[in-house]
Amino acid sequence: MAFDLNAFSPQQLDALITQAKERKTTLKKRKPLTAVRKKLTDMAAAEGYSIAELFGGSAPRAASTAAAPATRKSATKGRKLGKVAPKYRNPANKAETWTGRGKQPLWLAAHTKKGRKLEEFLIQK
């Protein structure tokens, strides 16, 4: 996330600094995610439950069960999923590509909004 700090007024900069300091304080008070995840998993196991049973999501990878892969298979049943080669490339950053499926990436949407044609970004085969 990049800001053009030159566009901000002094009052806006002060408000941004205040918000950033508050967020930093909040993040410093938090325990590491892995420690909290382990504590919750241990508490659930002590009561005879798994995280998946309690919250409906998948359990952490270390404690995954055989039920998780079955759920994944049923979600893709009847569909063939495969990788698609990218069709479009960002000239400013060659690592950014798009297959042409789904929502346009931000870099491509910005260029087309400026009037450039989609065909200009095609990857030459």
The CA distance from 68 to 91, in Å, is 41
Per-residue tens of pLDDT for the chain, all 125 residues: 677 888 889 999 999 999 999 999 999 999 888 999 999 999 989 999 888 888 876 555 554 444 445 555 566 677 777 788 999 999 899 899 999 988 999 999 999 999 999 998 998 86
Supply the pTM of this predicted model: 0.37
Cβ–Cβ < 8 Å for 96, 105 = yes
Going from the C-alpha of 36 to that of each of 25, 31, 44, the distances in angstroms are: 18, 7, 12
Cβ–Cβ < 8 Å for 65, 52 = yes
